[in-house]
Amino acid sequence: MSRRALAYRLALALIAAYCLFSVAAGIVLAEYALHPGHRPLHFEREARQIAREMGARLEDVSLTAPDGTTLAAWHATPARWNGSAVILLHGVSDNREGVGGFARLFLEHGYSVLLPDVRAHGLSGGALAGYGLREAGDVHAWTDWLYARRQPVCVFGFGESMGAGIIVQAVRAEPRLCGVVAESPFGDFREAAYDKVAAYLHIHPALAKLIFAPAVEIGLRYARSKYDVDMVQASPARAVQQARVPVLLIHGTLDHSLRPRQSELIRAANPRLVTLWEVQGAGHCGASAIAPEQFRTRVLDFYAAHLPAKTLL
């Protein structure tokens, strides 16, 4: 066999192997993203104790989403309620306990808090994680629940990572939100996939995109064909284009899981209503650890600035 023929066969074998790898990797990526797993609650006793220390009672609450999915949450109102509420959303593969520390911050400053388990997480039902495709509607349902239950002056949103991406998408589904804060969100699901692959393999996102573009596209098509879930539509950047709800984005400059460019995509889509605070030296969802006082001040001032004028008199 000539060298040319051998090189030709080797090239064909490599192409075939790359195609098979892309198909397998795409399916694995899709299944992993859509089935993050239900992490059980481990610190419920501690959460109830924190609520009691603030004169609040932690309630187990639930509602049924329009598609029949049961959603579970904690709700607490401090003894000195300021009349507003905050919905807090956690990250992927986590549960409501993941944002418990922020709930304490808001309770301390008079806000009631609602901590849902995002569908397909914690004690909430649902077979698939949709990264905002269905979850933005769930935020709408929880906002309805809050207004019917307590008639708050304002309902605000707060989210981290996946929860940040969801709460930003909720501004389109729920225009009654007075404002949302999102730390380390994804701006576009497809672009976030490249960031996640790059973080896992410790390579640059541009290289991840060069190598894994076929795998990501196959994964997106697989999710659409098998589960009827069009993950391309999970896009906080697209959601804010026509939104009227102000958004504060917080992103660490050393976030390699979801790089700052994700928040920059969102801000660029609506710079009039979207503000971005890039935190030097902070990693993924690490702003409150790097700059705790500035974090508290920025978040609380943002909420206060977007209360209805009559409540400030």
Span 164-221, pLDDT tens digits: 999 999 999 899 999 999 999 999 999 999 999 999 999 999 999 999 999 999 999 9
Stated as kind and residue range, the H or E segment containing 181 is strand 179-183
Assign 8 a pLDDT band (cuts: 50, 70, 90).
Answer: confident
HSE value, Cβ hemisphere, 13 Å, CA-based, for 279: 23
Total residues found in the chain within this entry: 313
HSE value, Cβ hemisphere, 13 Å, CA-based, for 113: 30
Q: Which two tokens stand for residue 38?
A: 């239900």
Assign 133 a pLDDT band (cuts: 50, 70, 90).
Answer: very high
User: What's the mean pLDDT in 261-265?
Assistant: 98
Sheet holding 84-89, edge to edge: 59-64, 70-76, 112-116, 84-89, 154-160, 179-183, 247-252, 274-279
- DSSP 3-state assignment of 271? coil
User: What's the mean pLDDT in 216-244?
Assistant: 96
Assign 1 a pLDDT band (cuts: 50, 70, 90).
Answer: low
For position 311, what pLDDT does the model report? 56
For position 9, what pLDDT does the model report? 85
pLDDT, tens digit, for every residue of 61-106? 999 999 999 999 999 999 999 999 999 999 999 999 999 999 999 9
**Cα–Cα nearest to 301, from 174, 185, 156:** 156
For position 285, what pLDDT does the model report? 97
